[in-house]
Amino acid sequence: MLKRKLARASMFANGFVFFIATVNGRNDHHHVDSAVAEVDPIVRQLQAFDSSFTNLGDFPSDILANAPKIRLSPYVAKFVKDYNRKNDEVLQSIKDRSAFHFVMIDSIFTKYHLPVELKYLAVIESELNDKARSRVGAVGPWQFMPSTARDLSLKIRGKYDERRSYSKSTVAAAKYLRDLYGQFGDWLLVIAAYNSGPGKVLYAIKKSGSHNFWAIQNYLPAETRSHVKRFIATHYYFEGDGGVTTLTKKETSAYKNALVDYFAKQREYLEKNKLNGTDVTITTGADSEKK
């Protein structure tokens, strides 16, 4: 299990959501929606980050490319760099064989209106191995304990264990993650609760007086702190950037506000130049601040 294999190397040591797959309800197989590929990748990323960004297609590509980027939290920046450097070989091996599993996970998570980057939990839980078993009895790609699996309607009878079924266990994971988000409203807290259980996260919130993961982390088990940081690092390894699942609720709101402000200024700039009949020179976010 990657969680054990890599923890020794980096135990304690921002970018977007990609909804690239849809579910065809008339077919048991999950297929990538080819229509999505026609959308500008940056527009798709921003729309996936927040569904309110629906009218970006009329912006020039340079303006889209210069949109504010997610910043990696200073609380985890060194960890991400060290972790991905030390574990490059293992992570690349997983990446090389991930395509089939990721298409299936993406389609199920999209059906449940979840950020598809949550699939990286399966990377740090099991290395995408459906036969993975932990020393405490967690099984399958999502590493469910028997009691949690049964609560999520997965059947375990003798050698028959639906925790090892990729499709059934991923549906169970989607329901569990959806319910945790309904409880906490913050993806980093969800990832922490997935590892330690919601009770420990609620305890940390109570002790710290905060709902910010970076403020409550010292009240969480060391394994849970590392678990969240490994998830962020893995997200950056596979995506090359951060996303909604690597940010706290407060960071997500701040980033969305930065995007709204940036595109409002750019739209005003474009309309002003259009009225003046002048050629449009693309401005960067920094240039916009100077105007």
Report, as residue numbers or ranges, the catalytic residues: 125
Residue in the block written with tokens 């940390």: 204
3-state secondary structure of 247: coil
Residue in the block written with tokens 């760099």: 81
Whole-number Å distance between alpha carbons of 270 and 116: 34
Whole-number Å distance between alpha carbons of 41 and 64: 10
Residue 198: C-alpha distances to residues 145, 182, 201, 227 (Å): 15, 12, 5, 14
Whole-number Å distance between alpha carbons of 186 and 191: 9
3-state secondary structure of 239: helix
Q: What are phi and psi of 176, to 5 degrees?
A: -65, -45
Checking 43-46 for CB contacts under 8 A at 24+ apart, the result is 44/18, 44/19, 45/15, 45/16, 45/17, 45/18, 46/16, 46/259
Give 76: exposed, middle or buried? Use CB within 10 Å, 0-12, 13-18, 19+: buried
Going by DSSP bridges, is the β-strand pair 31-32/21-22 parallel, antiparallel, or unpaired? antiparallel
Give every CB contact of residue 211 below 8 A, 6+ residues apart in sequence.
184, 186, 189, 205, 249
